A and B are shown apart, each in its own frame.
Chain A
Amino acid sequence: MSRISGGQIDRSKTLRFQFDGVSYNGHPGDTLASALLANNVRLMGRSFKYHRPRGVMAAGSEEPNAIVELRSGARQEPNTRATVVEVFDGLQAQSQNRWPSLKFDAMAINDRLSPFFAAGFYYKTFMWPAAFWEKIYEPIIRRAAGLGSLSKQDDPDAYDKGFLHCDLLIIGAGPAGLSAALTAGRAGARVILADEDFRMGGRLNAETLEVGGAAGADWAAQSVLELASLPNVRLMTRTTVIGAFDHGIYSAVERVSDHLAQPLPGKPRQILWRIYTKRAILAAGAIERPIAFENNDRPGIMLAGALRAYANRWGVAVGESVAVFTNNDDGLRTVADLKAKGLNVTLIDARQGDEVIDSAGRLGLKSITIRRSNGRTETVAVQALGVSGGWNPNLNIASNHRGRPVWDDQIAAFIPAPESIAGLSCVGAAAGAFSTHAALTMGATHAVAALADLGLTAHADAPTAEDAPLNLTPAWYVHSGKGRAWVDPQNDVTVKDVKLAKQEGFISVEHLKRYTTLGMATDQGKTGNVLGLAVMAELTGKSIPETGTTIYRPPYTPVAMGALGGRARGEDFKPTRQTPSHKWATEQGAIFVEVGYWLRTQWLPRKGETTWRQSVDREVLQTRRSAGICDVTTLGKIDIQGTDAGLFLDRVYANNFASLAVGKVRYGLMLREDGMVMDDGTTARMGQNEYVMTTTTANAVPVFRHLEYCRQVLWPDLDVQLISTTEAWAQYSVAGPNARKLLQKLVDQDISDAAFPYMACGNITVQGTRARLFRISFSGELAYEIAVPTRYGDAMIRALVEAGREFDAVVYGTEALGVMRVEKGHVAGNELNGQSSALNMGLGKMVSKKKDSIGMVLSQRIGMTAPDGYRLVGVKPVDPAQSLTAGAHFLAKGAEAVAANDGGWLTSVVYSPHLGHSIGLGYLKSGDSRKGERLRSVNLLAGTDVEVEIVSPHFFDPEGERLRG
């Protein structure tokens, strides 16, 4: 037997879908679970550890057993719950965690070996020999355990992130949520009503109860229609609120396209919403819990409310003969509803002393064994058993801020602690009020209260509905037999495992959880946690609240990584910043390198060059021989103005700036307060109270932040204004003996050495366009940096290249730049590593002690000034044919390659085409007094061991004659 009358499915349309390669029919409104049950398929998966045959247990997102893989190819998606997957035409689903097939699973041998796989078996079984873990045990366990599999292809679909604002967010659209939404929506408040289901109404869709004299499901549909007509209400179906964050921020995942074969054009698969709320109402209902008994995990054994839901909402009877095992009156509703559908129902009421003590049926339930209160046992043939051990308020979200739920004896369940999240109130079943009447009135009155907080007036007006009590007598597990009774079916945790945990001293709830893995599966123990606690409480003779409770972290249900990533993937993972010469460089076939968000030219190959070294060597040699042009726009630029600007620079730079004359540039060394070097650069005094600072590319943002900090927090009354102009100016370095001749062709002013000497700066014009010129050099050559407004950057690079043609000038990239700076012994990123002081870098004398500057005091403390500290040195191989390896460590000849003998390391290594061999910079202990020494540079990772000589870091033109030329 399968489909019965009624339900909210559209029988006029038939949908074809496949499960494990077999085709079935379903209807719009079906979930994969309901459609499979309607096709008499009860076996849907295998359990995690024992590979036990499993079927559906629930009818919602709390499902622990029916975990399936969807679709194929790049859209394959593991670990979805069949109970919330909507059937669509062409849906392909596969069972998981079985081999070779769902009905015959070789790994089911684990079930026979279960004595070896009790709680904690990992810790006990795989202890020795230790070497076996990585090579043998772990790979085997990984293959045997785990659930679905990944396609390992790129997800072809898009995921979005979105932001919403509202007065009132209502989580859950059952009777309580709908009532709250109607109350707040009619009052004109901005309301968002979110529900994870594709149809709003919650349990009303699964019940035969009446609301206001109409069928509950009809009242829900009517309410949704009214809400949809209100412009101030946003209805969000297929939207799971996954967590509560600070200050009224909630996160939700909307499954926009999961119910389709593939997203409609231009639509994302899912949207991750960040919802800013003034108030929120949790109306997430309750989740039924089982009663544990021997072999309670067979396909066909499910929660009583789920069995009822499949019959009422989906028109599915799981069997002609069914049974209900309950300890409360809600279970009796299942009996009544199923009887009304013409099924043959056996009742086992734990409150009468009756119990289910065992079940049979390997791949699906065939019979149950009942022990009546008089001690007689009987076996009844049934295809389905509904179990109800009561209902747990679905307080997951309310505990996200660590608010401990409190125990309510009336319903034998935890309810949310009041005020557990500021601005959130819980209503209806989520608050432990289980009747429909309570849900409707509570939803309305709490909406009125929430709106009153916001100064809005609303009226509570709830329709009439049943107000029956639950009449629950706690019954957690059946004390009989030696077999296993499942508590957490997804992680295969049984009553025995809880007993073992107790026996071994893992009594606290946090230990119980970690020792047995109770509640640690993808369902977070939504059905099993309280049951596990109850078993532990009984074993220890404590009450359940004394035993403890677990609280929940976001997300409420598993979230796809794609949704968390949104659009930030591939080349959109981060922004890309292009330099002003990017278009020109692309035309030239430049090779680019990522520097932070920037793409910079790394080198520019010419025809016939086959290796990067050929290009870089040429760029270096030609720059030193004639002229080279380099885009240096990425360096940070900060305009600093104000009557106290000079004083400000004296405070933020370690060296003196007060004496810098107008029209002059100076190298500046910036320390952190702990005395380490933060950044370096040049600062030009463009006018009496106007300076232009440059920073390294990497530190442009942190330095600006730091300067704002100094200006606002440390010295609030200094007259200093800052603005970042990194993107306002396109800046090019023109270096080499012919640099002046080249530039003079373009600029309108005289830039002869007399008119524009070394370290001069000024505002100039380039064919009438305003520009800034700085005579500074990083390469060691006669060099200038010229800045033009960014919109002229493309024209400027083309003009420079054109003007350079007669000199055979080259455009060089970051590699050649690096070679030339190492040849000159200038420190850069590799040396500015955050752990190095000015003294380490050979710049100790720059730190002025005559003025207070950031980092000055602590740069002088003991340890920072020790003579045996690291000092910057130049390094060259004794045999010029050998290459150095960056990162190699210095060892005395004959010393063993261990940390105790470490003398320092090579920070930067390049091939100097000028010298014809490899050169490097490094930090060496007492390095300043060790020139001429021969050491080994050893890199164990690269397998290199090279004899080196310690030399001055100034390999090229040590007197600096060229740059003054």
Chain B
Amino acid sequence: MIINHPLLGPRDAQEFIYLGDAALIHRPDGMAEGALERFIPYTYLRDNPAGSHRELWYHEQGDRSWLVVTRNTTTHEITAVEMARDVARKEGRSK
């Protein structure tokens, strides 16, 4: 596969480490009330779609960027590649 890195252009997938569902961005607050009930699904439950999937990839053999790659799991077509930091900020993560 080839991942079109937003900063570095097309790079072979061999340079990357796969992590999984980009829903991991939304880590619950560990100090909030009811944190345990939120951490269990956050840690263990994943959607497994046959189709478009947003997932985290790490450019370990490259610039150390974490990326959010939108990939079709049935065709491997990649429709979007974004910097994970930008996505996380857009989705409300900060400090």
Contact = CB atoms under 8 A, between A and B. Distances in A.
Interface stretch (A34-42, A610-618, A849-857): A849-857
Interface stretch (A465-473, A579-587, A712-720): A712-720
A247 B2 contact: yes
Contacts of B30: 852-853, 856-857
A245 B14 CA distance: 13
A857 B36 contact: yes
B2 A713 contact: no
Contacts of A861: 36, 40
A716 B39 contact: no
B77 A249 contact: no
Contacts of B93: 713-717
A857 B35 contact: yes
B2 A246 contact: yes
Contact of B56 (A401, A422, A644, A713): A713
B19 to A, nearest CB: 7
A690 B42 CA distance: 32
Contacts of A718: 95
B1 interface: yes
Contact of A716 (B40, B44, B94): B94
Nearest to B39: A857
Nearest to A852: B30
B25 A714 contact: yes
Interface string B75-95: 111100001111011000111
Contacts of A248: 2
Contacts of A860: 36
A851 to B, nearest CB: 7
Contact of A709 (B58, B75, B76): B58
A713 B66 contact: yes
A705 interface: yes
Contacts of B83: 712
A424 to B, nearest CB: 14
B88 to A, nearest CB: 4
A674 interface: yes
B9 to A, nearest CB: 12
A401 B27 CA distance: 36
A149 to B, nearest CB: 35
B77 A715 contact: no
B80 to A, nearest CB: 14
Given A644-B95, A673-B39, A714-B25, A247 B76 contact: yes
B89 A717 contact: yes
A709 B19 contact: yes
B68 to A, nearest CB: 9
Nearest to B95: A717
A705 B94 contact: no
Interface residues of B, number: 39
A394 B80 CA distance: 34
B-side interface mostly: mixed
Nearest to B74: A402
Interface string A529-549: 000000000000000000000
Nearest to A723: B64
B48 interface: no
Interface string B53-69: 00010101000111000
A857 B29 CA distance: 9
Contacts of B2: 246-249, 276
Contacts of B64: 708
A109 interface: no
A915 interface: no
Contact of A712 (B44, B88, B95): B88
Interface in B21-47: 24-25, 27-31, 35-36, 39-40, 42-44
A6 to B, nearest CB: 48
Contacts of B40: 858, 861
A252 to B, nearest CB: 16
A852 B29 contact: yes
Q: Tell which of A246, A674, A861 has the most Cβ of chain B within 10 Å.
A: A246
Contacts of B12: 249
Given A247-B1, A851-B31, A713 B24 contact: yes
A276 to B, nearest CB: 7
B57 to A, nearest CB: 11
A708 B58 CA distance: 9
Contacts of A712: 65-66, 83-85, 88
B70 to A, nearest CB: 14
Interface in A288-330: none
Nearest to A862: B36
B1 A709 contact: no
A812 to B, nearest CB: 33
A401 B17 CA distance: 23
Q: Tell which of B43, B44, B86, B94 has the most Cβ of chain A within 10 Å.
A: B43
B62 to A, nearest CB: 12
A181 B85 CA distance: 45
B85 A713 contact: yes
A590 B86 CA distance: 50
Contacts of B86: 716
Nearest to B13: A246
Contacts of A715: 93-95
A674 B39 CA distance: 9
B58 A714 contact: no
A504 B60 CA distance: 53
A245 B75 CA distance: 11
Contact of A852 (B1, B31, B36): B31
Given A712-B84, A852-B30, A857-B36, A717 B43 contact: no
Interface in A707-757: 708-709, 712-718
A246 B85 contact: no
B58 A717 contact: no
Nearest to A861: B36
Nearest to B84: A713
Contact of A708 (B36, B66, B76, B77): B66
A715 B86 CA distance: 11
Q: Tell which of A673, A714, A715, A857 has the most Cβ of chain B within 10 Å.
A: A857
A716 B85 contact: yes
A607 B64 CA distance: 48
B5 to A, nearest CB: 13
20 contacts: A246-B76, A249-B2, A673-B42, A674-B43, A701-B60, A705-B17, A708-B66, A709-B19, A709-B66, A712-B66, A712-B83, A712-B84, A713-B56, A713-B85, A716-B88, A716-B89, A718-B95, A857-B39, A858-B39, A858-B43
Interface of B: 1-2, 12-13, 17, 19, 24-25, 27-31, 35-36, 39-40, 42-44, 56, 58, 60, 64-66, 75-78, 83-86, 88-89, 93-95
Given A644-B95, A708-B58, A858-B40, 16 more contacts: A245-B1, A247-B2, A249-B1, A249-B12, A422-B77, A674-B43, A705-B17, A705-B58, A708-B66, A713-B25, A713-B84, A713-B85, A716-B93, A852-B31, A853-B30, A857-B35
Q: Which 6 A-B pairs have the closest CB atoms?
A: A852-B30, A247-B2, A246-B1, A717-B94, A716-B85, A712-B66
